[in-house]
Structures are given as structure tokens and as C-alpha cells.
A and B are shown apart, each in its own frame.
Chain A
């Protein structure tokens, strides 16, 4: 990403020279080359959406195109999952021995045990790569994330406040963020141990600690990187890396995926 932005900067710096060359030579080709370079800058995020306070503005509707919700590790297609290259950096989650065994059991019984099957809140980071859109509303001191899945709601404070005195058992943890340049960095703790990372039984304990990084690739793509730490379950911290795509359809909006009400008609004929 840095290299592409640098190329854009270089091209911008060369703009007067290219224009002068085009003027001098009357070369249509040079102008064409410049126009193409200009389009490339726009795509590489030379002009990022920014809030009034100068921070990148992540407001909008987002969704993953990955198959991480089914399995965050690389996997071939199977009866209950589309294939995926995986979003785990390095491809493998460093489980402790007992935890690798538990994960195997979870996988075998995934249809019955996946907490998402009960329509419980999805936990993090799974909420961000579930196959449903979510909307970010950004204010000076916080971001509010609303998800189509079960009205999941999350707030990320960026007002310098600290985590509350814990431990608190929360489905989505407690999120405190800050800006490092144009990257939003969010520290998340205070999880319960009820959620999974995916439908393949990848799990954590209540000692889960996330550090999320949100940064623009270009105005319509967010790079979402998360460092995952849980000394009760993993031998070392590991990370995931994926892309969130902006919904650019006209009048796109959140609907509802109120899965725990899908049996309503059974009880209210």
C-alpha cells in the first residue's frame, strides 16, 4: 500500500512536468499517460474521505467478500462452506495442544455448537467478517458500528477514555481506540468465552485481547488487520488480515437479520 501511495505522490509531483512536456511536444500520448496515472491515484486513495477533524472518515456501509465467517484458515470448499484462501496471517492458528484438540471437537460438532446457530451476538472480530453489511457512524469522540446481523451494536471510543474496571463479560468486549496517523487502532478486552471466530470451531477464552487496525486502501476499501492474543488458548499472538468493501449501490441500507425470530410463525400461527 505504501509503495502504491508513493507512486501516486511521485506522479503528482511530476504532473507539471508532464503537462509542460505535453504542451511543448503537443503529444497526445503524454496527456493520455497522465490521465491514466490520475485515475490510478484516485484508486490508490490519494484523496481519502476525511472528517472535519482531519481523521480518515470510515462512515459508510461495509462488508467482507471473504469466506472467513465459515473458516478463517485456508480451506477447500466443503458441503457447508465455500472455499477460501484464509485470513490468518501465516495460514495456521497457533493453538496450545489441548486447545487444538478442543478445536477439532468443535469442528466435528460445528452444526450444533456454533454459537451463531443460536443467533447469539457474533463476538469480535467475527462481526466484521460475517456475511452481512454493517454501517459505521463516526463522531469526534467515538465510532458507532451497527450490524445487520441481529441488530448487533458496538461503540469504539476514541476520546482517550480507558477500559472500565474489569473483568466484564461482554459478547463484543470493550473497545477503546486511538489514531496512529491515518490508522484507527482499537484495543478490545472484556470478552466472554461464548463466541467463536468462525463456523469451523476456532475459539478463544475470556482472556481474549484484540488490537484492531483500520486503514484505508482507497476510499472504498478498508484494510482490517487484527492481532489476537489469548494466553489461555494460543502459544503466541497471531493475526488476521482482510479487506472490507464499501457498498456503493444507490440507496443501500441495513435491513434486519433477526435470526432468533425466524421461528416466530411457529408460535404465533
Chain B
């Protein structure tokens, strides 16, 4: 009993130290399985999935001239990429060429493969989903963290029990996640990504060999910083890291309910999208 109490005191002190280092005083409530309770709705500081590098590039751009203007007006100072220092995705030469080719036809597509799979309601993968969704809820259950997104009724189930990843032969749109808590940081190891989705509207991509390590760093009761480290030697010259701040949403709306949105179920233009009919621009 005494040993246990000492352990708790030392752990508590360590937690207090790390909180102090972050300039935050935050002692989370604990759930029955020991997880810090971080449940609720959150929103990204900058929402939208048009661009990794220029996330404020904005919505509603429909012609190339406006696209170029917006791009010029938004430098990389708000880039979601915090490493490498130039704040760009460190593509290998062939991969940069592919990304640029995809970006060039985003508004001027002539082939079905030019269309961003997001427009077909395909699941967006772990990065794009969290920035695209309107309502994003974190729920915790014994041994699990669950992310629920209203958009496309997508979800992520993250086991915390240390089980191995699923076999390599299986690739998933929303990949395979394994998590554990380090203090008030949720660390999630992500593999088995089918990589059929893109990382932005500008044609950013990875391969299905990508390994993503996510850190959800809860910096206080109402905020977290997300860091995602992308490693994929088949596409990038080095690993790169994306970071973004999230704050609590609907905090003053007790009883607020997550209502899941359908996407492909209501998509009346899907036939045209699928067949690349240019008379039906999306």
C-alpha cells in the first residue's frame, strides 16, 4: 500500500513537472482504466483539406486564375508541415512530379483519375479526415480510444492493449491504429494504410508502405496539439512532420449530439464522376 502511494506521488510529481514545462497547470480526471479523460468534441485551428502547405488557401475556388491568385497570396508561414524547415513535403523527384501533375489537373480534369477521391466520398485517411470533418468527437472506453467523425460517418477504433497490427496484406482506407498513453499524450502508431486517398486537394500522397506516428498532446482541458510524423522511404527523401492545434467545440452545449452525415448515399452525380463526364464538373 505504501509502495503504491509512493508510486502515485512520484508519478504525480512527474506529471506536474511535464505540465509545468508546457506552461500549463492541468491535472486530468482519470477514467476507470486509468486513461486521462479527454472526451468531447474538438475542432482544428485551421479546418479544410485543400492544402498541407497553405491551409488557409480557402474554399470555393473554381477556376485556375483564382486558384493561382489564392496560392500566391498564401505563403508557407501557416504550413501544417513543421519539419523539414522549408515546410514542404520532402518528395523524391518522381513523387514531386506526380504531385504537381495531380495538382495541375485539379480544376481541369479530363480523366477519372484526375478527380480527387474525396469527391467520390471515399474515406479520407487519418490525416485528411480530422481536418475535413465538421464535428469530430473523441470517446474513451476501457482499453480503447474511439474517434467519431460526422463526415462520411467515418470512425477510428484505437485499441490500447498493445496488440500487434493486423497482417501486412490487409490495407484499409482508415489504416490500422494502435495507441498508448504517455502521461497526457496519446501516441498512435498507424500502419496498413491503403493510401488510395490523397493528403490534400493539391495531390499530396503517400504509398501504402507509409508509417505514421501520431501524438495527440493534450495541453489543457480544452486543447490538444496533433503531431503526425510521416515516414515512407518509397516516396519521401526523409520523414516529415505535420502539426496543428485543436480546441474543444460545443463545450457550452450540454447534450449536443453528433449526427452522422451520409456522403455517397446521397451522391446523385456519382455516375458522372465515375465516368469522368466533363459536362458535370464537381
User: A residues touching B (Cβ–Cβ < 8 Å)?
Assistant: 52, 59, 119-121, 135, 137-139, 144, 146, 151-155, 157, 159, 161, 171-172, 194, 251, 253-256, 258, 260-261, 263-264, 266-269
A59 to B157, CA, bound (A): 13
A-B CB contact pairs (8 Å), 14 listed: A59-B142, A120-B264, A137-B144, A144-B146, A151-B155, A151-B174, A157-B257, A161-B255, A253-B157, A258-B122, A267-B112, A268-B112, A268-B113, A268-B117
Complexed CA–CA distance, A266 and B146 (Å): 32
By a CB distance below 8 angstroms, the chain B residues around A139 are 139, 141
A176 → chain B closest CB, angstroms? 11
- Contact call A171/B265, Cβ cutoff below 8 A: yes
* Any A CB within 8 A of the CB of B134: no
A137-B141, A139-B139, A263-B274 known; A153 vs B148 contact (CB < 8 Å): yes
Q: In the assembled complex, which residues on chain A have CB atoms less than 8 Å from the CB atom of B13?
A: none
Q: Which A residues lie within 8 Å of B121 (CB)?
A: 260
Q: Tell me whether A264 and B265 are in contact in the complex, defined as CB-CB below 8 angstroms, given that A153-B148, A253-B166, A258-B123 are known contacts.
A: no
The answer, yes or no, to whether B159 is at the interface (CB within 8 Å) is yes
Q: What's the Cα separation between A137 and B115 when bound, in Å? A: 36
Contact B155 A260 (CB under 8 A): no
Cross-chain contact B157 with A146 (CB below 8 angstroms): yes
Binary per-residue interface labels of chain B (142-156) against chain A in the complex, 1 for a CB within 8 Å, 0 otherwise: 101010100011110
Given the complex of chains A and B, what is the CA–CA distance between A47 and B139 in angstroms? 27
Q: A121–B262 contact, CB under 8 A?
A: yes
> Which residues of chain B have C-beta atoms less than 8 A from A154's C-beta?
260
Residues of chain B contacted by A146 (CB below 8 angstroms): 146, 155, 157
- Measured in the bound complex, the distance between the Cα atoms of B157 and A267 in whole Å is 29
Q: Are A155 and B274 in contact (CB under 8 A)?
A: no
B115 touches A151 (CB 8 A): no
Q: Is the CB of A119 within 8 A of B153?
A: no
Query: Is B159 a contact partner of A144 (Cβ separation < 8 A)?
Result: no
CA distance A38 to B139 in the complex (A): 37
**Closest A residue to B170 using CB positions:** A255
CA distance A139 to B148 in the complex (A): 14
Question: Nearest 4 CB-CB pairs, A to B?
Answer: A267-B112, A153-B153, A251-B163, A268-B113
Q: Does B113 lie within 8 Å of A256, measured CB to CB?
A: no
Q: With A258-B123, A261-B122 known to touch, is A144 a contact of B139 (CB < 8 Å)?
A: yes
**Is B196 a contact of A264 with CB atoms below 8 Å?**
yes
Of A152, A253, A263, A266, the residue contacting B159 (CB under 8 A) is A253
Contact present for B115 and A256 (CB under 8 Å) = no
In the assembled complex, the CB of B13 is this many whole angstroms from the nearest CB of chain A, namely 29
Interface size on B, residues (CB 8 A): 38
B60 within 8 A of A: no
Task: Let me know if B252 is at the binding interface, CB within 8 A.
Answer: no
Taking the nearest CB of chain B, how far is it from the CB of A243, in angstroms? 24
Cα of A161 to Cα of B254 in the assembled complex, Å: 12
Which of B166, B255, B264 lies in contact with A119, CB distance below 8 A? B264
A254 to B148, CA, bound (A): 15
Inter-subunit contact A137/B139 (CB<8 Å)? yes
Which residues of chain A are within 8 angstroms of B163 by Cβ–Cβ distance?
251
Closest Cβ of chain A to B277, distance in Å, is 12
Contacts of B152 in A (CB 8 A): 151
**Do residues A153 and B159 form an inter-chain contact, with CB atoms below 8 A?**
no
Asked if B104 is at the interface (CB within 8 A of a chain A CB), the reply is no
Known A146-B157, A151-B152, A260-B264; judge A137-B146 contact (CB<8 A).
Answer: yes
A52-B32, A121-B265, A137-B141 given as contacts; is B117 within 8 A of A264 (CB)? yes
* Residues from chain A with Cβ under 8 Å of B139 in the complex: 137, 139, 144
**C-alpha spacing A52/B121, complex, angstroms:** 39
In the bound complex, how far is the Cα of B32 from the Cα of A52, in angstroms? 9
Bound-state CA distance A255–B172 (Å) is 7
Minimum C-beta distance from B137 to chain A (A) = 9
**B26: Cβ under 8 A from any A Cβ:** no
In the complex, what's the smallest C-beta–C-beta distance from A262 to chain B, in angstroms? 11
B172: nearest chain-A partner, CB-CB: A256
Query: Cβ of A254: which chain B residues have Cβ within 8 Å of it?
Result: 157
Residues from chain B with a CB closer than 8 A to the CB of A194 are 265
